Structure 1
Amino acid sequence: MNQTVEYIKELTAIASPTGFTRDIADYLVKTLEGFGYQPVRTAKGGVNVTIKGQNNEEHRYVTAHVDTLGAIVRAVKPAGRLKLDRIGGFPWNMIEGENCTVHVASTGQKLSGTILIHQTSCHVYKDAGIVERTQDNMEVRLDAKVTSEKETRALGIEVGDFISFDPRTVVTETGFIKSRHLDDKVSAAILLNLLRIYKEEKIELPVTTHFAFSVFEEVGHGANSNIPAQVVEYLAVDMGAMGDDQQTDEYTVSICVKDASGPYHYDFRQHLVGLAKEQDIPFKLDIYPFYGSDASAAMSAGAEVKHALLGAGIESSHSYERTHIDSVVATERMVDAYLKSALVD
């Protein structure tokens, strides 16, 4: 697991809000080429790599997404602070107090700042603790000497500049991994590590498999536009959602039976359950009520495939997230077992 954790650290350190993913795509291409693969960039900006298997007539498609939540400059305020527009789905309070980086398109510079509510000082605003957090009162306080719109614009900042959130990645001695964007960089790290192992150990998979690192999942139209016609199974490796009424935890692999798009393919799900039981992989079945994946997006786009979803259990999704190495291990074992298995009956 040491290498998978290293990939998690490297991936979370690269800013990649949806729509601003060239740097992380470059990282993926360089890493995959270093393994000996020939990755392909899609027109949308994703990165795909294919392993030819014993069965080359019917194929598998396995995805993890590397785009993350983020923001974009909506306006420059009269006092020089920035108004935001969200990228991805999250309540405003999930990013309050977060350090961030403004990626200035006109100059290529990176300017640091902090995301705060306008009424931050409790010595001035008596409603600071209870005022609703909205687009109108959440703003970026730049780490620059600016007190007016003119001064901020002089830095080159313009509407449309992307804003990434500080991931604050920490791996504890007790095995917990804390960071923003574990959704879905844990899964991307798992796929990278498996691809490394398969190449180094010259492992031949039973079925030709396309590994797709998608870059538009957080806005709902991830990897569904370039699925080869031979694909019959589509596995999204994403995150397991935790909370009240959920079975998912931080120590097992979570297999999704249903999300907001509807149920996942029953036979495919049972195939995964059978593999988990056979190989003694700890797992939980669960429903994610307010959730969509690359696989569900593919179904909405009309893909004629069996689809399934699994992932590590992620606590506090779309906020400052956490998982445990046990869940990462279980998820990697589950994906590996699936890739080495026969097609779903």
Structure 2
Amino acid sequence: VAQLAHSMGYKPAYLNQYNLFLIRGDLVPARMWREWTLARVLEHSRGLGRYRLPFPSEECNAFVDGLAEVMPSDRAANTTATSTTMPHRGRRWWEHLPAIPRQVYSKGSEDGILEHIFAHVRAANKQYAELAVGDGRASNARLLREKGGWRGLLVDCCHSNPAIGLHREQISAMSVLGILERHRVPRQVDLLSLHADAADAFVLRSILQGGFRPSVIVAEANENFGEESQLSFPGRPVLHRNWSACGPTCAFHGGPRRQQSTALCGAGVAAWVGLASPAGYHSVYLSRTSLFLLRGGLVPPEMAREWTLARALERSRPLGRERRVFPREA
């Protein structure tokens, strides 16, 4: 029972004569994880009348045939009940994203994917910062705020709504640190979500260089850059953004008295990974439009070894993400 519960993120607390008492991992103090092993729980239970019995006892021999392991041995080999390492809630959770993550408020499946991630990665402060969020109705963080009790900062160039924490600010690589600091966003905020159009990569670079280390970063990854290009346009203000046969298109000032339109808004997946990896981030998922990155200290060892960008890209195909070449003739 302890081994099964540990794989789901629970810690044995006490045993009496009949029952094992378990505490969910996010409620367990760090010292308890280190020191209160199953052996100590068993030792404490002796005073409550629990006996140390051999297995199988002679009285039970007749019933041994047909027993099956609760936890298969290959799955449990590295998950002992006496472990002192606080687990993520659920073994190999990154391999078990729902086939169709639910979409509640976000434009894609972002809020459903975030719901899955934070069901297994403990939130430190339940705070978010979402930049260039529009009027907030399709915010990636809205489900967390309304259903999970999260709070945080929403920013957009053209909208304001104090009731949901939405502030009107001009976002750029030069201004973003001042915005985050003015609104007292924690350096290790749980979620950072970016929709800053052409300036995305330059905004994130400033944030990371400024010492911010969000637990999870969500960034729009433009398919039109393919899966290898690390290029991005310099951070010029976007005048407007639309969708075309080429995907997202944005228009910005291309020179005196004229606009320049391009389907190469923002940055591609390789650019985001190249930017975030030196800061210790690991790619987790890709939706049709967004890349999800997890801070290194929250990445389980098996995930770091096995869950490569190639596997994240493969997992993204059922979610509608296409494999495109760069540059495209279209």
Check whether TM > 0.5.
no
Whichever structure has more helix as a proportion of its residues is 2
Larger RCO of the pair (alpha carbons < 8 Å, separation 6+)? 1
Short-chain TM bin: under 0.3
Of the two, which has the highest radius of gyration?
A: 2
